[in-house]
Amino acid sequence: MEFKKEDILEELHSIFLNKTFDALLPPLIYAVSNSIFGLQTAVILAVTTALINFSRRIIKKENWKYSLAGLIGVIFASSFAYLSNNASNYFIPALTSSTLFLLASVITVLIGKPLAAWASHLSRGWPLEWFWRQDVKPAYREVTILWAVYFALRLTIQLRLFFSEAVLNLAWVNILLGWPAIIVVLTISYIYGIWRLNDLGGPGVDEFKEGKEPPWDGQKKGF
């Protein structure tokens, strides 16, 4: 099956909308400044960076909701590190996130309602009944297993660095295994998912909603 680069880029753009920069900069500044100036300065600079990102989007009238969530997250993580006087604790929210996504991936596969299907349903509004068809669901189950492997790998590396208190290395790992790795995982998920849906031979979501009878063209765009 032929995949258009424009379709993949459109999918990724619809998900991220320039979120990557806002997410990567504060933890990197935190880790670098902590190694040079100490914890208190690192906390101040990380929060200031997140605040500047948020203010910049407000001034430019861009989508500011993600930046606000990022600002709140940085304040929470920085406060946790400062109050415990442990620089590594800044990354506890990231560890928690990896753990929750891993558990969600595994549990939803085990109960037969894969996380990838829920994510697609919530972002696209497609009917849940379509996702649970036996000629559709295996594609979302297999993609969710891929997600579980990714989150398990990320959590394992994060925990090793966290307990060794390697703050700068942990920051770099969170960056590289954060949005950059997620982009790769979602690209693979999209390409594999579309191919798998067509391999399964089920209806595309529009064909399902219109009640068309087989033979179906299948899902050509969007996963």
Q: Hey, where are the domains in the chain? A: 5-209
- Give the torsion through C-alpha atoms of 122, 213, 190, 101, to 10 deg: 40
In this predicted structure, what is the pLDDT of residue 69? 79
Q: Which of 10-24, 38-52, 117-131 has the least mean pLDDT?
A: 10-24
Distance of alpha carbon 50 from its chain centroid, rounded?
19
Is the whole model's pTM more than 0.85, yes or no? Answer: no
Asked if residues 202 and 214 have their Cβ atoms less than 8 Å apart, the reply is no
* pLDDT tens, residue by residue, 8-27: 556 555 555 555 566 778 88
Spatial separation of the C-alpha atoms in residues 170 and 118, rounded to whole Å: 30
Candidate ranges 73-82, 83-92, 95-104, 183-192; pick with highest mean pLDDT: 95-104
pLDDT, mean of residues 151-165: 94
Q: Is 96 or 16 the better-scoring residue by pLDDT?
A: 96
Asked if residues 82 and 44 have their Cβ atoms less than 8 Å apart, the reply is no
Spatial separation of the C-alpha atoms in residues 37 and 34, rounded to whole Å: 5
In this predicted structure, what is the pLDDT of residue 171? 87
In this predicted structure, what is the pLDDT of residue 11? 59
Spatial separation of the C-alpha atoms in residues 118 and 135, rounded to whole Å: 17
pLDDT, mean of residues 78-91: 90
In this predicted structure, what is the pLDDT of residue 152? 97
* Nearest by Cα to 94 from 123, 120, 70: 70
Mean pLDDT computed over every residue of the chain: 87
pLDDT, mean of residues 188-215: 93
